[in-house]
Structure 1
Amino acid sequence: MNKNRLSASLQAGLNNQMTQEALAAQIYLSYGAWAASEGYSGIANFLFRHANEERNHMMKFLEYILERGGKVEIAAIPQPPANPVSVQNCFEQVFQQEINNTAGIYKLVKMSFDEGDWASWNFLQWFVKEQTEEETLALNLLDKIKVAGGEKATGEALYALDRDLEKEPDEAELAETKTVENP
Structure 2
Amino acid sequence: MKTNRLSKTITAALNAQMTKEAHASQIYLSYAAWADEQGFSGIASFLFRHANEERNHMMKIVEYILKRGAEVEVIAIPAPPENPVSINNCFEKIFEHEVDNTNAIYKVVKLSHAEEDWATYNFMQWFVMEQVEEETLAMNLLDKMKIAGGEKMSSDALYSFDKDMANASDEVRPAQEATTENP
Q: Render the CA deviation track for 1:103-155: whole Å, top value 9, x for unaligned.
A: 11100011111111111011101101000000000000000110111000000
1:122 matched residue in structure 2: 122
Residue 171 of structure 1, CA deviation: 1.4
Deviation at 1:167, TM superposition (A): 1.0
**What is the root-mean-square deviation in Å for CA atoms of aligned residues?**
0.7
Partners of 1:32 and 1:132 lie apart in 2 by: 22
TM-score (norm 2): 0.98
Cα distance per residue 1:12-53 (max 9 Å; x no partner) = 000000000000000000000000000000000000000000
1:178 is aligned to 2:178: yes
Gapped runs of 5+ residues in structure 2?
A: none
> Aligned equivalents of 1:73 and 1:61: distance in 2?
11
Q: Structure 1 stretch 173-182 or stretch 134-143: which is displaced more? A: 173-182
User: Which runs of no fewer than 5 residues in structure 1 stay unpaired?
Assistant: none
* TM, length-normalised to structure 1: 0.98
- State the SS of the aligned residue for 1:80: coil
Q: Aligned to 1:116, what secondary structure does the other structure show?
A: coil
User: In structure 2, what is the Cα distance between the partners aligned to 1:165 and 1:140?
Assistant: 12
SS at the partner of 2:146?
helix
Sequence identity of aligned pairs in percent? 63
Once the two structures are TM-superposed, the CA of residue 4 in structure 1 deviates from its matched residue by: 0.8
Tell me what 1:146 maps to. 146
Give the counterpart letter for 1:112 in structure 2: S
Instruction: Give every structure 1 segment of 4 or more consecutive aligned residues whose post-TM-superposition deviation is greater than 4 Å.
Output: none
**Counterpart of 1:13?**
13
1:92-171 pair list within 5 angstroms: 92-171=92-171
CA distance in structure 2 between the aligned counterparts of 1:36 and 1:4, rounded to whole angstroms: 44
How much has 1:74 moved relative to structure 2? Answer: 0.2
> What is the deviation of 1:175?
2.4
1:78 partner SS? coil
Describe the SS at the equivalent of 1:140.
Answer: helix
Partner SS for 1:102: helix
Q: What amino acid does structure 1 have at the position aligned with 2:37?
A: S
1:174 Cα deviation from its structure 2 partner: 2.9
Task: State how far apart, in whole Å, the 2-side matches of 1:14 and 1:153 are.
Answer: 40
Distance in 1, matches of 2:136 and 2:105, equals 16
Equivalent residues in 2 for 1:5-44 (5 A)?
5-44=5-44
* Paired residue total: 183
* Superposition deviation, residue 94 in structure 1: 0.3
